[in-house]
Each structure stands twice: as C-alpha cells, then as structure tokens.
C-alpha cells in the first residue's frame, strides 16, 4: 500500500467538489482553517459549477481530480463537501495516474465511493475525514475536528479510546488488518461492482446519517449476504446520526446484528457525520481491541 508524503507548512493543496458544489461562505471559512495550518489553498476550476447536464458535470469533476493529481505542486487533495454522484466518476478515473503521483486524498460521506475505489485500484492510502466546507465552517467546526489534520503533518499514529468518546463493545475480541469502509449506503451501492469494498482481512468502518433503523438493518443484511463480513477482522461503528425517535431503534438494530459476531465490534467512534469528527486513513494498518475498547491506527503518511 502506497503512503502519500506528509504535509509541511507552505505546501500547496487543492480543494475539489466531486459530490456537489459547496456553500461559498462555508467554503471560504473552511479554506481559512486550512490556511491557518500553514497551507496554500487553491480550488479546482469546476468547484462551484452547477449544471443540469449530469454527464457534463461528472466530466468536469473528474477533470478537477485528474488535474490535482497531475500537478506536481499540489501535495494534498481535499473534498469540499458530500452530496451525490461520485459513483459515476469511478469508471472514468485514471488510477494509474494517481498511482504515479500519490498524494493525500481526503473526504467522506458520498466521497466514500472514491476513497475505496482509489485505495483499491491505485493501491493508495486515502483518508476518511472532515471536509472543507461542510465540517470546517464556523458553525460546525470544533477544535478536535481541526486537530485531526495534525497527523498529516506529524506522521503520528492515532490511538482512539474512551478519551475521545465513550466506546461500547458489541462483540469482544481482537482484530488486526487494514482499515476500509465508510458510509453504509455507499458501501452497499458498490456491491457487485469493480469498486466493491474488499473487507477480507480488514477492519471495516461503517457510518451513516439520517437513515431509519429498518434501512440500516436492510443494508447491513445486504452486506452480510454479499459476503462482506465473511473474513472481516473487526468492525468499527462510527456515527449513525438520526433523530431521537429513531435513535433507540438504531441502537437495537446494531446490537442485535453484531451480538454474535465472531470478530470484535465497537461502536460510538466519532467518524462520519458528527462533531467532533476525526480523520482516519483508509488502507492503513489498524488494530481493534475490546479490553479496553481501543482502535490503533498506523500513520497514513510517510
């Protein structure tokens, strides 16, 4: 697995919008946060484009991605926000170009499709983490979220335990492997495609937002029947944000689904649609334990 180079102050990074154009004010606020880290920020030519022709906008988003990876002055590629449509980009991406020019690629939500496609097809570690406009704006941002970018500079490994959030064990054990996964809906959508998540020998991260409990149960069942859990070494459950009426039902679905799992399962990690929101490397080495509940992640950069 290829590790991208760590960031240094003064590095140039690009912001692209593969899943939809961001709110301009939120983008400006998030850009200012990256600049406060010592980075020089540019955005793709088509970040704010909005077109009714879906084929045309997908081509423009792919062009921004390719340009960011082709430009030797760009050291990292950060996504502006989530949305929809990244699955359409996956077959159009030049993965060999990405492999030849490895650099940090960072996002989550609908970007899950690209995180796993790039990790799988270009053999590059990618990053599931808070995005520029949707998570670093003045309304949403917390200092913990902002600090989760620090390992991109320091090359430090990450230890996530109950100091960050109260973790709950649904199935006991110890598992080691590379981290894969992301948003549940996008993982389900990838089944049967060349970009299907490969969880064999891996620690699988799952998060979701705004889905009723019965759909979460249906999608988990779909993953199970597709064999995704057959050789998984552990499951990390991130945020499953929902309204209060669904929260109890969701807890029940997750507990029942994973209660007899033959691998460790721990929930309530702040990964996904939440604040604070911690970034993690997809494709990097991970170890999940339950006594005490803890996730140890190898540095995603070199």
| Strand 158-160 relative to strand 168-171, pairing | unpaired
**207 belongs to the catalytic site:** yes
Find out whether 2 and 298 touch, Cβ atoms under 8 Å: no
**Is 0.95 surpassed by the pTM of this model?**
yes
- Per-residue model confidence as pLDDT tens for the chain (302 residues): 999 999 999 999 999 999 999 999 999 999 999 999 999 999 999 999 987 788 999 999 999 999 999 999 999 999 999 999 999 999 999 999 999 999 999 999 999 999 999 999 999 999 999 999 999 999 999 999 999 999 999 999 999 999 999 999 999 999 999 999 999 999 999 999 999 999 999 999 999 999 999 999 999 999 999 999 999 999 999 999 887 788 999 999 999 999 999 999 999 999 999 999 999 999 999 999 999 999 999 999 99
Complete domains list, the chain, with CATH? 12-154 (3.40.50.10740), 158-297 (3.50.30.60)
**Proportion of the chain in helix, strand, coil states, percent, rounded to 5:** 35, 25, 40
**pLDDT value of residue 243:** 79
Burial category of 53 from C-beta neighbours within 10 Å (exposed 0-12, middle 13-18, buried 19 and up) = exposed
Which is the catalytic residue, given 26, 128, 273, 277? 273
User: Under 8 Å CB-to-CB from 20, ≥6 apart: which residues?
Assistant: 81, 82, 83, 84, 85
**273 belongs to the catalytic site:** yes
Q: Distance (Å, rounded) from C-alpha 145 to C-alpha 136?
A: 8
Find out whether 2 and 102 touch, Cβ atoms under 8 Å: yes
Dihedral, CA of residue 26, residue 87, residue 218 and residue 199, to nearest 10:
-100
Which is the catalytic residue, given 109, 134, 148, 242? 109
Find out whether 185 and 83 touch, Cβ atoms under 8 Å: no
Which is the catalytic residue, given 207, 208, 211, 246? 207
Find out whether 32 and 94 touch, Cβ atoms under 8 Å: no
The DSSP bridge partners found for residue 263 are none
């Amino acid at each position: 697995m290829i590790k991208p180079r760590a960031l240094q102050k003064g590095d140039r990074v690009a912001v692209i919008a593969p899943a939809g154009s961001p709110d301009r004010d939120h983008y400006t606020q998030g850009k200012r946060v990256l600049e406060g880290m010592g980075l020089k920020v540019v955005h793709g030519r088509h970040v704010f484009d909005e077109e009714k022709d879906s084929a045309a906008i997908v081509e423009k988003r792919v062009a921004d991605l390719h340009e960011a990876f082709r430009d030797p002055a760009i050291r990292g590629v950060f996504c502006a926000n989530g949305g929809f449509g990244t699955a359409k980009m996956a077959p159009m991406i030049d993965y060999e170009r990405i492999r030849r020019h490895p650099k940090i690629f960072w996002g989550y939500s609908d970007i899950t499709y690209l995180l796993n496609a790039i990790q799988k097809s270009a053999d590059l570690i990618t990053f599931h983490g808070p995005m520029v406009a949707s998570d670093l704006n003045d309304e949403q941002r917390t200092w913990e979220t902002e600090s989760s970018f620090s390992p991109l500079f320091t090359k430090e490994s990450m230890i996530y335990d109950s100091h960050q959030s109260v973790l709950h064990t649904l199935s006991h054990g110890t598992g080691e492997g590379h981290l894969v996964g992301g948003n549940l809906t996008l993982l389900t959508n990838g089944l049967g495609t060349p970009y299907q998540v490969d969880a064999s020998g891996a620690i699988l991260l799952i998060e979701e937002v705004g889905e009723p409990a019965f759909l979460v149960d249906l999608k988990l069942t779909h993953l199970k029947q597709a064999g995704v859990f057959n050789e998984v070494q552990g499951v990390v459950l991130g945020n499953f944000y929902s309204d209060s009426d669904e929260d109890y039902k969701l807890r029940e679905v997750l507990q029942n689904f994973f209660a007899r799992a033959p691998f460790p399962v721990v929930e309530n990690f702040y990964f996904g649609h939440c604040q604070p929101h911690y970034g993690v490397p997809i494709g990097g080495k991970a170890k999940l334990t339950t006594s005490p509940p803890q996730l140890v992640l190898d540095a995603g950069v070199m």
